[in-house]
């Protein structure tokens, strides 16, 4: 018989189809495994349809001692998962801002700062009216990005228009139409799929990219690189973020005190979609 496998659990609450569209998680998991697999710890990824099923998974994993720790993603303000894993005594690491984690260790990408950098990048190129197409407002990282962009826009005297999407292509199209009412000369999107929707919608409105409107995507991907024109993107080393999360997880499993682990800085890769 095989020895019991030491493992870390990662539950993603979304349709199985959506996981396939999000390169972020594939690269994140790859990074986790580069550190964890050599130490004999595996990563069990479970895709469930909603948050209720997610919480049930943690309950069952704890009851049957199937995982030695869990990684929590996409936190909302006052997220009940933080209390749940503490009650279940599951070592946990949060991918997100320390302010949401109530004392759990976090791996933190400074969303506020990158949102500011994106606005600065566009302001430097002469843009005075910028649209921001964000992800769902229920996520903390969405709010941090919106607040960061707003703060930088005010500092630089840029007028910022904001619209909300749910990372899907369809939501990106609808939000673009909303943003266009304010006549922006640049649009920043919270993921690559919505940025592709922006490109298509602008084309239908006879607006040239980047001649009339510049477009920047959050998270670089093959889709960004193959888009016409190729999308400028805020590029994170997501594999590296996964490696750092794995280190944080090993520390948590060893009973080390919680810490904030800083993700490596992102940078903007300028391609053909910005002037």
Partner 1 sequence: MARRETPAAGPGSRALVVDVIRSARSISRVELAEVTGLTQPSISNIVRVLIDDGVIHETGSADSTRGKPRILLSINPYSRFGMGFHLGAETLTCVAVDLTGGVVGREVVPLATGENGGDLAGRLVARFADFTDGLDLPVNRIEGLAIVAPTARPGFESAGPDLAAVRAELADRLRMPVLVENDAAAAALGEFWSRRVSREQAFGSVYLSTGIGAGLVFSGALFRGASFDAGELGHLSIRYDGRPCPCGNQGCVERYASMAAVVEDARQDPELAGRLTLDGSVSSAYDVIARAAVSGDPQAFALIDRAATHLAVAVASMVNLLDLGRLVLTGPAVASAGSIYARRLRSHLARTAHARNRHPIAVELSAQPRDAASIGAAALMVQAAIAPGHTTSAH
Task: Identify residues 202-231 at the interface with partner 1 (CB under 8 A).
Answer: 220, 222-223, 225-226
Nearest-approach distance from CB 271 to partner 1, in angstroms: 9
In terms of Cβ atoms closer than 10 Å to its own Cβ (0-12, 13-18, 19+), residue 105 is buried
Q: How far apart are CA 81 and CA 150, in angstroms?
A: 29
Residue 189's DSSP bridge partners are 133, 217
Give φ, ψ of 97 to 5 degrees.
Answer: -70, 140
Member of 55, 57, 185, 201 binding partner 1 (CB under 8 A): 57
* Binding flag, residue 51, partner 1 (CB under 8 A): no
254 binds partner 1 (CB under 8 A): no
CA distances from 170 to 95, 141, 167, 271 (A): 27, 21, 9, 24
**Binds partner 1 by CB under 8 A, chosen from 15, 137, 177, 208:** 15
Grouping H, G, I as helix, E, B as strand and the rest as coil, residue 229 is coil
Residue 168 lies near partner 1 (rule: CB under 8 A)? no
Minimum gap (Å) between residue 56 Cβ and partner 1: 9
Task: Return all residues near 13 (Cβ < 8 A) that are at least 6 apart.
Answer: 48, 49, 50, 51, 53, 54, 74
Size of the residue set binding partner 1 (CB under 8 A): 44
- Return the HEC string of 25-88: HHHHHHHHHHHHHHHCEEEEEEEECCHHHHHHHHHHHHHCCCCCEEEECCCCCCCHHHHHHHHC
Indicate the residue among 19 and 260 with the shorter CB distance to partner 1: 19
Residue 61 or 108 with smaller CB distance to partner 1: 61
Q: Is 46 in the site for partner 1 (CB under 8 A)?
A: yes
Q: Is position 26 an interface residue for partner 1 (rule: CB under 8 A)?
A: yes
* Residue 269 interacting with partner 1 (CB under 8 A): yes
Residue 95 host element (H or E): strand 92-95
Least Å distance, CB 161 to partner 1, is 30
111 binds partner 1 (CB under 8 A): no
Minimum CB distance to partner 1, residue 36 (Å) = 9
Q: Which of 50, 52, 60, 200 binds partner 1 (CB under 8 A)?
A: 60
13, 23, 141, 249: which one contacts partner 1 (CB under 8 A)?
23
Tokens of 27: 């690269």
For residues 64 and 78, give the distance between their C-alpha atoms in angstroms, rounded to a whole number: 27
Using CB under 8 A, list all residues that contact partner 1: 1-2, 4-5, 7, 9, 15-17, 19-21, 23, 26-27, 29-30, 33-34, 37, 40, 42-47, 49, 57, 60-61, 64, 66-67, 220, 222-223, 225-226, 235, 237, 239, 267, 269
């Amino acid at each position: 018989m095989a020895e019991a496998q030491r493992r870390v659990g990662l539950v993603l609450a979304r349709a199985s189809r959506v996981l396939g569209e999000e390169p972020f998680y594939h690269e994140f998991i790859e990074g986790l495994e580069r550190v964890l697999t050599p130490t004999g710890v595996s990563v069990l990824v479970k895709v469930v349809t909603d948050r209720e099923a997610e919480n049930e998974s943690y309950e069952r994993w704890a009851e049957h001692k199937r995982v030695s720790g869990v990684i929590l993603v996409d936190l909302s303000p006052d997220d009940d998962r933080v209390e749940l894993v503490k009650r279940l005594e599951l070592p946990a690491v949060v991918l997100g801002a320390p302010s949401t984690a109530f004392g759990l260790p976090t791996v933190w990408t400074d969303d506020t700062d990158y949102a500011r950098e994106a606005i600065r990048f566009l302001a430097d190129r002469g843009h005075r009216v910028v649209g921001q197409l964000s992800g769902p407002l229920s996520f903390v990282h969405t709010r941090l990005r919106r607040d960061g962009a707003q703060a930088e826009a005010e500092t630089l005297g840029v007028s910022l228009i904001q619209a909300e999407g749910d990372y899907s292509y369809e939501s990106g199209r609808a939000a673009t139409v909303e943003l266009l009412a304010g006549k922006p000369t640049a649009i920043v999107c919270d993921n690559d799929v919505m940025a592709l929707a922006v490109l298509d919608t602008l084309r239908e409105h006879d607006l040239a990219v980047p001649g009339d409107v510049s477009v920047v995507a959050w998270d670089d991907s093959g889709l960004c690189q193959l888009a016409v024109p190729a999308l400028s993107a805020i590029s994170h080393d997501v594999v590296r973020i996964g490696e750092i999360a794995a280190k944080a997880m090993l520390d948590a499993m060893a009973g080390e005190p919680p810490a904030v682990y800083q993700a490596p800085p992102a940078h903007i890769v300028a391609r053909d979609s910005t002037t």
